[in-house]
Amino acid sequence: MPRAIIYALSPTQATTVPTSLGQATHAAFLRRIQAVDPDLAARIHDEEGVKPITVSNIFGLGAGRSSQVDPERSYILRVTLLTPELERIAADWSAEALGSLDLDGHQWRVTARSIDAESDPWAGTASYEQLAAPLLERPAELPSRWEFSFAAPVTFRRRGVNLPLPMPELVFGSLLDKWNAFSPIALPGEVRRYAEECLAVSRYDLRSVVSPTSGGALQIGAIGRCTYTTVSRDRYWQACITTLARLAFYTGIGAGTSRGFGQARLLGDGAS
């Protein structure tokens, strides 16, 4: 059952930190997993392909390569889990149990946790069957337009290069890969073709963001909003696209979601 958790945290002292801490936040939670299940941690670290966990960068840091942080201020970290084994481990990840996190050599106090949308709109839980309601329940009306908010840079890898433009086939192809990696309900590969041939970008408000990676290289992604509209209405394919759009809240979109990239959510109709 996919789960999204929001943590509030503060640095233990006023200091300057890198603005790109996604690799560090991922490593901090991987160490927590390793303490309980070393084999699972090794698989997450070593295996290629879709990862069963996403960990955001610290929200609230400034622009540029580094940012001054204030111990009197609260910052946000988001973690999502996509498999039952990770959910079982994370059941013990209360704010008190986590205590503090070492992020790139800097200590942060974890002060609060939110696990449902009532306490934070970026937290929540849904089963794959609930996300697939557009397919399983056959509602009378299905969306023909899907608007996403990209809260962290979204980028894609294709033929060895990064593509920072969220084109329909890239967005929904990414979500299809993530869905079929973890959901018990498989979706056909033709969803990718439908997205490429029958979805159009109808509105966007995007800007490019340059994020330094742990190795010092720069990676470009897009943040903002983008709306996709079908030009060929078909109830089955619309249901598939809506299901995948709802999944984005938990899996993120594109490459690098385990280390801070691709945090996204569906807005309006079809949202979970």
Q: How far apart are CA 142 and CA 151, in angstroms?
A: 25
Residue 178's pLDDT is what?
97
Question: Residue 54 corresponds to which tokens in the numbers above?
Answer: 């996403």
Mean pLDDT of 238-244: 97
The model's pLDDT over 246-272, given as tens digits with 9 standing for 90+, comes to 999 999 999 999 989 999 999 986 554
Domains of the chain, each with CATH number or no CATH: 3-114 (3.30.70.1890), 128-267 (3.30.70.1900)
The model's pLDDT over 124-168, given as tens digits with 9 standing for 90+, comes to 999 999 999 999 998 889 999 999 999 999 999 887 788 999 999
Query: Which residue bears the tokens 């498989």?
Result: 186
Q: What angle do CA 121, 24, 259 make, to 5 degrees?
A: 55
The model's pLDDT over 206-227, given as tens digits with 9 standing for 90+, comes to 999 887 665 667 788 999 999 9
Q: Please, what is the average pLDDT of the chain?
A: 93
Question: Residue 70 corresponds to which tokens in the numbers above?
Answer: 């204030």
Q: What angle do CA 109, 112, 116 make, to 5 degrees?
A: 145
Output the pTM of the full model. Answer: 0.93
Q: Which helix (H) or strand (E) holds 77?
A: strand 75-81
Q: How far apart are CA 157 and CA 256, in angstroms?
A: 9
Question: Given a cut of 80, is residue 117 above it in pLDDT?
Answer: yes
Q: Taking a C-beta distance cutoff of 8 angstroms, is the pair 194, 270 a contact? A: no
Question: Given a cut of 90, is residue 121 above it in pLDDT?
Answer: yes
